[in-house]
A and B are shown apart, each in its own frame.
Chain A
Amino acid sequence: MSRATESVLVREGRSGYEAVTASAVGLSGLAFAVGLVALLDIVAIDAPVAGVGLSAALGATLLVLGLAVVGFGAASRLDYVGTAPQPSAGVVAAGAFTIVWFTAAVLVAGAVGITGVVGLVVALAVGGVAFAVTAFPREDVGSTLPAGAMAVLGGLALATGLVGPGWEWELVAYNATLFGDTAVPVVAMTASLLTGWAAAKSYGGFGARGRNVGAYVLIYLVVLSILAVLVGLLAFVTIRGLPGLFNGFAVGGEGLVRWPFLTNGAGLLADTAGVFPALVGTIWLVVGAVVFAVPTGVGAAVFLSEYAEQGRFTQVVEVATNGLWSTPSIVFGLFGAAFLIPRFGNQKSLIAGMLTLGFMLLPLVLITSREAILAVPDEYRDASAALGVSKWETVRSVVLPAAIPGITTGVILGVGRIAGETAPILLTTGGGVLPTKTAAASVLGGFQLSASPPFVTNPELLQATSALPYQLYALITAGLSGNIEDPQQFAWGLALTLLLVVLAFYAVGIATRYYFRRKLHQ
């Protein structure tokens, strides 16, 4: 009986194989990560590594991996190790390999010059072969051979310098050029992904366990790339924005801390230009939008969930809300410009911006609040009813407090969106491009009593003001520099400030949610 079908509870005697396959997985992951880093231009592909260029080193790695993976498959097929492969690698894997090989064939054919129908036929043939090689042999061969072969080919191309720094390919049809800077990392990443998966399957001995490990490695690598992009984005902005943000920063002196970027305006008199008015504007816009949207949204959600009969009406409201949430922000801006501005002094104003952003926030708050309220278990409502408590008191004291974490999540998500919106602000609030410090809205100090209704006014709310996204946009498009020494640095500093402001709002929201979750013992 073939050792491939033995099943024992405690696995022994395969540790050598497992060690080798595990290192293959690790090496693949490393190659993938290096490829990713090179793709993001953090490292150049001709950077020297152990005496050779990075591209060549990657190529050698891929070559080794490809051969190793083929070897794993062979070892399993020839029964040198005990594995439990299935009769076939399956249609899904076959389809994936077909696509990969087909694409590779098309690209290579194009690069080599075989175009047109001939090229297509060749590519299809290659795809067909790939399908056959994956699907028809036993799983251990079908998973490893196509992956290994691709890695070997790619590795050869990179190691021999066929594709490397300085390689270019003009795509006449698209009027674009593919450079080696892009091609090398892509080849490396694709090949290492495939070998990583195949090596992982080998590690798991093929069969169900092998597929399990393979899927895990695949998912892990994909998540890694997503996180890398995210971290890369944040790092990119932070690195470029820090010099601007801390321009002129000093500790000590008259005030404890001098932070001119945040406390100064951009007027001529300031020694260091700052974003104070825009900062204040953004903060007030968000606060105003939240103050408008949250009570309205939560109230509507309570009505729809607790009081309204579930039927036509609630369905229509749901559809309308979803539609509102999907509406592009510029449409909201136009609405604000056309509807709100005439009503608030026929000029751009802070309050118009607050309301517009509030309208944008409203659907999300409504949707998430409704979900949160519906998620509160009926047992609480039953218990409250059995104690003889009226419906509204039940909602107020039991249902809403229990729904707060969900509602807060909605507000957090919504604030993240509206804080960075430019189009509505452009149309409803945007004032001067490089405002001085005095142009910042002083809402708290602006409340006045008046003799005629509405008895309390606040002219500050009716002023046009700046906001961070708006100022960034203006800076980029208008190109005005005023007295700013380094516009680039200023712009990046502005972007970083916006990011930090949004993160600050997030932190407040998350802290609130955490607090309420603890109270509710969730």
Chain B
Amino acid sequence: MSQTDATDAADGMGEQTVSTTAGETVEETRPEWTDYDAAGEAKLAVEDLDVHYGDDHALKGVSMDIPEESVTALIGPSGCGKSTFLRCLNRMNDRIRSARIDGTVELDDEDIYRDNVDLVELRKRVGMVFQSPNPFPKSIRDNISYGPRKHGELNTGLVARLLGRDDSEAEEELVATALQKAALWDEVKDRLDDNALGLSGGQQQRLCIARCLAVDPEVILMDEPASALDPIATSKIEDLIEELAKEYTVVVVTHSMQQAARISDQTAVFLTGGELVEYDDTEKIFENPESQRVEDYISGKFG
């Protein structure tokens, strides 16, 4: 094929297919499919993120900007690296010994992976909610005030109480605000001293969200927050996510495409091998994606 023919072919619209020697057609991914220009400021800017777990190349050169005060959904089949990506945003992957992380992640234009980053500060600003609700085996009140107390913002120890300088009122207010924001206040307001493990699954998850909100983050990362819950509890969490997006930047990993379609403003599609294939407005992804592989995935042809 001559040079001009190749160029002409490349200028065509829609998917490109490239024949391999095996006779299969493998789609080339085009960088413009992931070059999403978000409305508003980019809260988190990821550039060329590569993650290796030992020999396993879990994420391959992912770059994307996450806009503030909106919901970004990350979808893709199992093992495609979306949870790995999420955990890079608050450096939770540091806790895994075999993980090697290259690339930059900028929070408000500051790279969180450079030296001397205060992990405590980072995780105060970027909070996380996990797949299975994991409240501490303490009372509801203690669960919520745990973060602020450990950060020194609330003084409720014995000494403080003896000196008359304790922050019980501030604690009560903080707990009430966090629970209200997490839409759990009405259900637990008269049993704040009960052990958190006595709540139902959906309530526990909202408690974990309240606990995360109590430290006043800017970004909330959620790793499949509703996957362990029944449909009604799931709806409550989804409504909550929409509410939260008015104030916080929310990034949600979900394996339910319907959920991603319901709640997110923009959606990033990761496919097997840790590749980010397409990233765009949610309507675009679910009505007319550019990539044939993404189309096949969301139509259920594989995955």
Query: A contacts B directly in the complex (CB < 8 Å)?
Result: yes
How far, in Å, is B214 (CB) from chain A's closest CB? 9
Give the interface segment out of B12-20, B128-136, B175-183, B238-246. B128-136
The contact sample of 27 A-B pairs, CB cut-off 8 A, is A377-B134, A379-B130, A379-B132, A382-B95, A382-B130, A383-B130, A383-B208, A384-B146, A385-B95, A385-B123, A386-B90, A386-B127, A387-B124, A387-B127, A387-B147, A388-B121, A388-B147, A388-B151, A389-B120, A389-B146, A389-B150, A390-B120, A397-B150, A402-B137, A519-B195, A521-B197, A521-B198
A398 interfacial contact with B, CB 8 Å = yes
- The size class of the interface chain A forms with chain B is 20 to 34
Collect the chain B residues with CB atoms within 8 Å of residue A393's CB. Answer: 150
B170 at the interface (CB under 8 A from A): no
CB within 8 Å of A: which B181-228 residues: 195-198, 208, 211-212, 215
Q: Does A520 contact B (CB under 8 A)?
A: yes
Partner of A388, one of B124, B135, B195: B124
Question: Are B212 and A387 closer than 8 Å at their CB atoms?
Answer: yes
Kindly state whether residue B119 has any CB partner on chain A within 8 Å.
yes
B122 at the interface (CB under 8 A from A): yes
Closest B residue to A520 by beta carbon equals B137
A111 to B95 CA separation, bound complex (whole angstroms): 73
A residues near B135, Cβ cutoff 8 Å: 383
Identify which of A382, A401, A520 contacts B134 (C-beta below 8 A).
Answer: A382
Q: Residue A522 at the B interface, CB < 8 A?
A: yes
B92 in the interface, Cβ–Cβ < 8 Å? yes
Whether B134 contacts A383 by the Cβ 8 Å rule is yes
A253 to B: closest C-beta gap in Å:
44
Residue positions of B touching A, CB distance < 8 A: 90, 92, 95, 119-124, 127-128, 130, 132, 134-138, 146-147, 150-151, 195-198, 208, 211-212, 215
A380 interface residue (CB < 8 Å to B) = yes
Question: What is the CB-to-nearest-CB distance from A387 to chain B, in angstroms, rounded to a whole number?
Answer: 4
B138 contact set on A, CB distance < 8 A: 401
Return chain A residues, CB-CB under 8 Å to B146: 384, 387, 389, 397
- Majority secondary structure, B binding face: helix
Cross-interface CB contact of A521 among B119, B137, B147, B208, cutoff 8 Å: B137
List 16 additional A-B contacts (Cβ < 8 Å) besides A386-B92, A398-B136.
Answer: A377-B134, A380-B136, A383-B135, A386-B90, A386-B212, A387-B146, A387-B147, A388-B123, A388-B124, A388-B147, A389-B147, A397-B150, A402-B137, A521-B195, A521-B198, A522-B137
Q: Is the CB of A520 within 8 A of B208?
A: no
Separation of A402 and B123 alpha carbons in the complex (Å): 24
Q: In the docked arrangement, what's the CA distance between A380 and B130, Å?
A: 11
Rounded to whole angstroms, the CA-CA distance of A386 and B212 in the bound complex is 8
Taken residue by residue from 379 to 414, chain A's Cβ proximity to chain B (1 for < 8 Å, 0 otherwise) reads as 110111111111001000110011000000000000
A380 touches B151 (CB 8 A): no
Asked whether, in the complex, the Cβ of B150 is within 8 Å of the Cβ of A520, the reply is no
Complex alpha-carbon distance, A520 and B135, angstroms: 11
CA–CA, A383 and B198, complex, Å: 18
Tell me, in angstroms, the Cα distance from A504 to B130 when the chains sit together: 44
**CB of A522 to closest CB in B, whole Å:** 7
Known: A397-B150, A521-B137. A388 touches B208 (CB 8 A): no
Residue of B nearest to A393 (CB): B150
List the 8 closest A-B pairs by CB distance, nearest first.
Answer: A388-B123, A379-B134, A521-B195, A386-B128, A520-B137, A521-B197, A387-B147, A388-B120
In the complex, A521→B132 CA distance in Å?
18
Produce 1/0 per residue, A177-207, CB < 8 A to B: 0000000000000000000000000000000
Q: What's the least CB distance linking A233 to chain B, in Å?
A: 38
- Which of B196, B198, B215 is the one whose CB lies under 8 Å from A387? B215
